[in-house]
Amino acid sequence: MGEMDTLKKEADGLKAQIEAGRKAVNDTTMATLASGVAAAPRVQLKNRKTLKGHLAKIYGLHWSADNRHMVSASQDGKLLIWDTYTGNKVYAVPLKSSWVMSCSMAPSGNLVASGGLDNMCTIANIKGASPKTLRELDAHEGYLSHSRFLNDSEILTASGDTTCCLWDLETGKQKVIYKSHVGDCMCLAVSPDQNTFISGACDSSAKLWDIRDGGCKQTFIGHTSDINAIAFYPSGTAVITGSDDCTLKMYDLRADQEVNGYQDAALNAGVTSVSLSSSGRLIFAGYDNFNCNIWDSLKAEKVGVLSGHDNRVSCIGVPDDGLGVCTGSWDSFLKIWN
C-alpha cells in the first residue's frame, strides 16, 4: 500500500508541476492579441447542394483528396460515394453491420473504411467493377468511433476500448497501439506533416501522439465532458476540440495549453463535429441543436450560422481546397455550403 501512496503523491506533484509550467508561459490571451485584428466578414454561406439518398441517420462524412468526391456513412447500412459537383451517387458500398459510426477515404481515392458497433474497421476497394471488401480489421475491444488513412497501406483507428491503433493493411494486423486515455476514444485527426495525430476521448482530454513510436507526447485538459470532435489547425501547431460540455477549445501545441475558448451562455447543446476553413480563421462546429455555428478562431466570436437541417448535425468537413463546407445530419441529408 505504501508504494501506491508514494506513486499517487508523485503523480499529484507532477500534475502541479505541469500546471505551474503552463502558467509560467501564460503571459497573454489570444483574445487580447486579436483585438487589433480586423473582424472576420459576417459570413453568409448559402446551401448550394443537398445530397439526398441515405435512408437513415448520417453518422460520418469524409472528403476525398480530389476535393470533388466524398464518402458518407449512414445507419441505413450503406456507404455512399458522391460526386459533389453533380450531386450524383457514384458508388454504394453495402455494409455487413449497419451500426456504423464513422467512415473515411484514402488520399488515393481507391479505398474507403467504415466501422462502428461491430468493433471492426472494414476496408473496401471502390475502384474495381464493384466495391469489394479488402480487409476486416478486428482487434479492438470496443466500438470503432473514427478512422483516417495515412495511405493505401496504413490506417489509424480510434475506439471505445480507450485505445487508438495504427494498422498495416497488407497484413491486416496492428502495427502500433496508442494507450493512455482512460475513457472511450471518440475522434482523431492527423497532423499536416503526418508525423503525429491527436485524439479526443470521453475522459475529457485530448492527446498528441507520435505516430511511429506510439508515445503520447502531450495531454490537453480543460474540457468538462466527452470530446466528440477534433481537428488540426492548418498550420499544424494548434488543435481545435469540440465537446459535450457545449464548448470548443483551441490548444496550442507549442505553449502546451488552451489559448482560446468558444462558448456562449445561450448555447446549451453539445458539439458533435468540427472543421476549419483553409486559413484556419473560420471554425465550423456542428451541434446537437440541429445547427452549425461558425466561429472566428482568433477573436472567439460567432460570425455566422448554417441552419437548414431538421435534426442533429453529426459530421462536418471542408475539402483540402477550402472551396466549401459539407454538413451531414441525422435528418439523412448532406448539405454543401459556400
Partner 1 sequence: MSGSSNLVAMKKIVQQLRFEASINRVKVSQAAADLQQFCMQNALQDPLLTGVSSSTNPFRPQKVCSFL
The site for partner 1 (CB under 8 A) is made up of 3-4, 7-8, 10-11, 14-15, 17-18, 21-22, 24-30, 33-34, 37, 40-41, 43, 45, 48-49, 68, 84-86, 180, 215-219, 233-235, 237-238, 252, 254-257, 259, 277-282, 297-298, 318, 321-325, 336, 338
- Residue 223 corresponds to which cell in the numbers above? 474540457
Measured from the CB of residue 14, what is the shortest distance to partner 1 in angstroms?
4
Residue 216, exposed/middle/buried by CB under 10 A (0-12, 13-18, 19+)?
middle
Asked if residues 163 and 178 have their Cβ atoms less than 8 Å apart, the reply is yes
In order of 30, 138, 283, 308, 313, the CA distances from 335 in angstroms are: 32, 33, 17, 9, 10
With respect to partner 1, which residue has the nearer C-beta, 259 or 269? 259
Asked if residues 97 and 137 have their Cβ atoms less than 8 Å apart, the reply is no
Measured from the CB of residue 12, what is the shortest distance to partner 1 in angstroms?
9
In the three-class reduction of DSSP (H, G, I as helix; E, B as strand; rest coil), residue 152 is classed as coil
With respect to partner 1, which residue has the nearer C-beta, 155 or 336? 336
With respect to partner 1, which residue has the nearer C-beta, 113 or 276? 276
With respect to partner 1, which residue has the nearer C-beta, 27 or 193? 27
Measured from the CB of residue 82, what is the shortest distance to partner 1 in angstroms?
12
With respect to partner 1, which residue has the nearer C-beta, 114 or 257? 257
What is the distance between the alpha carbons of residues 107 and 112, in angstroms, rounded to a whole number? Answer: 10
With respect to partner 1, which residue has the nearer C-beta, 224 or 278? 278
Instruction: Cite the DSSP H helix spans in the chain.
Output: 2-25, 30-34
DSSP secondary structure, 231-289, as one string: EE-TTSSEEEEEETTS-EEEEETTTTEEEEEE--TT--S-EEEEEE-TTS-EEEEEETT
Measured from the CB of residue 237, what is the shortest distance to partner 1 in angstroms?
7
In the three-class reduction of DSSP (H, G, I as helix; E, B as strand; rest coil), residue 318 is classed as coil
Measured from the CB of residue 276, what is the shortest distance to partner 1 in angstroms?
10
Measured from the CB of residue 196, what is the shortest distance to partner 1 in angstroms?
13
